[in-house]
Amino acid sequence: MDWIAPYYFWIKAFHIMAVIAWMAGLFYLPRLFVYHAEQATVGSEMDRTFQVMEEKLLRVIMNPAMIAAWIFGLVMIGLGGLDFGAVWGWAKLLAVIGMTAAHIWMAKCRKAFAAGENAYSGRTFRMANEVPTLLMVVAVIAVVVEPF
């Protein structure tokens, strides 16, 4: 990994940009689900519009951003950018794993909407909308403040 060490700050910058794009999607997709669940009937024009919006958000923005965030993050870990000897390093990693789990759950929800089989209410998606925010707070405080 010595050959890549001089590019650490470039890698970090691209990691931050990927995380911003990923988080934007994690904040927006559940909001789309709220409106989709509450406003659209299966098979309607509005239903099809929401499906297109949700699918493109996942495929064009969220999936590539998540993959890039993970790749750049793992490279930084390889360069010693995360202290696993301290609790904060583990807290950051667990928060990112939680965000990934939320992403996967949202992708499954999108497929359920596409199949006309959504089982959740707008209220569920409103609550789910808070999960990425809480995980982001944990991750940022862990890395910036290193409180533990």
Widest CA span in the chain = 56
Mean pLDDT (whole number) for 32-60: 97
Q: Which amino acid is at 19?
A: V
Cα 80 to Cα 148: distance, rounded to the nearest angstrom: 18
Neighbours of 3 (CB within 10 A): 6
**Cβ–Cβ < 8 Å for 31, 119:** no
46 — pLDDT class (breaks 50, 70, 90): very high
- The pLDDT score that the predictor gives to residue 66 is 98
Q: What is the pLDDT of residue 4?
A: 87
pLDDT for 3: 85
pLDDT at 112 over 80: yes
Instruction: Tell me how crowded residue 133 is: count the other CB atoms within 10 A of its CB.
Output: 12
Q: Distance (Å, rounded) from C-alpha 75 to C-alpha 70?
A: 8
